[in-house]
Amino acid sequence: MAINPNNKHDNLHTCYCGASGSGKTVAVKLAGLVGRNAAIFDPYGDYRMGKLKALSGLGKGRKVHHYKTRNNFLKYFIQAWSSGKTFAVAYQPNVSAEKLRDEALWFAGIMWAASDGNRVLDVIFEELGKYTETSGADRSKLGEIASGGRKFGLIAHWVFQRPSEVPKTMIANATRHFIGEQQAMVDARRWQDELDCPMTEIINLGKLNKKREKHFLYKTKGIGNYQNKVYTF
């Protein structure tokens, strides 16, 4: 179970939202916000090692070890977390879409049980919208990480395509938001309210994007605190 609550930890939960192809995972890998200890729920294997070093693994060639069964992931996560060494491990369950939520909740439960307020663990949830069930309050272990994980050293990274598909618990409890190209005006309006920015700034993101250059609006804590971010690879 979560141990050693420590309110000195800053809330660094982060959302990455954009249409398919907008570069959400690029931002995760290149923004430099993921720390020395990382665990990833990676249903599509987006963090596997690849030929392009900038985007390989957790970015810039940082090695990620993938496991497809609960037993293997749990075994090697415990070993890594207990070692005191830098690590990045990913759980890529080989299940149908209908069972993905069960796997995500299991993974979230492991992260919560391992959390320790004397340490920091970055936890990445890819494709969040595929396994959440409400746009309202989330009362599952996922929501508990969003609302209570900070003081136990957890930093959640929520990656999703549309704000309407994920619980408000995740968006409201994040202090950092990467907003990429949006696929519908209803989504753009949601982020316009969050950022307090002109609509044209959100619309232009898609026009500025290139195959190997992705544009974002990056919001930090407070009203109107946002800036442009560009990642090339």
Here the CATH number for the domain that contains residue 142 is: 3.40.50.300
For 51-92, write each residue's pLDDT tens digit. Answer: 999 999 999 999 999 999 999 999 999 999 999 999 999 999
Look at residue 1 in the predicted model and tell me its pLDDT: 84
Q: Has residue 79 been placed in a domain? A: no
Look at residue 219 in the predicted model and tell me its pLDDT: 98
For 167-207, write each residue's pLDDT tens digit. Answer: 999 999 999 999 999 999 999 999 999 999 999 999 999 99
Look at residue 6 in the predicted model and tell me its pLDDT: 97
Q: Has residue 71 been placed in a domain? A: no
In the predicted model, is pLDDT for residue 210 greater than 90?
Answer: yes
The structural domain count of the chain equals 1
Look at residue 86 in the predicted model and tell me its pLDDT: 98
- C-alpha dist (Å) from residue 13 to 54, 123, 124, 177: 23, 9, 10, 9
Please answer whether residues 4 and 154 qualify as being in contact, where contact means their C-beta atoms are separated by less than 8 angstroms.
no
Q: Has residue 137 been placed in a domain? A: yes
Q: Mean pLDDT across the stretch 133-157?
A: 97
- C-alpha dist (Å) from residue 127 to 73, 101, 131, 215: 19, 11, 8, 19
Measured from the Cβ of residue 80, the count of other Cβ atoms closer than 10 Å reads 18
Element (H, E) at 83: helix 70-83
Q: Has residue 186 been placed in a domain? A: yes
Residue 29 structural domain: 14-45+98-232
Measured from the Cβ of residue 228, the count of other Cβ atoms closer than 10 Å reads 12
Q: Has residue 66 been placed in a domain? A: no
Q: Has residue 59 been placed in a domain? A: no
Whole-prediction pTM: 0.97
Separation CA 114–CA 81 (nearest Å): 8
Q: Has residue 168 been placed in a domain? A: yes
Q: Has residue 18 been placed in a domain? A: yes
Separation CA 150–CA 220 (nearest Å): 16
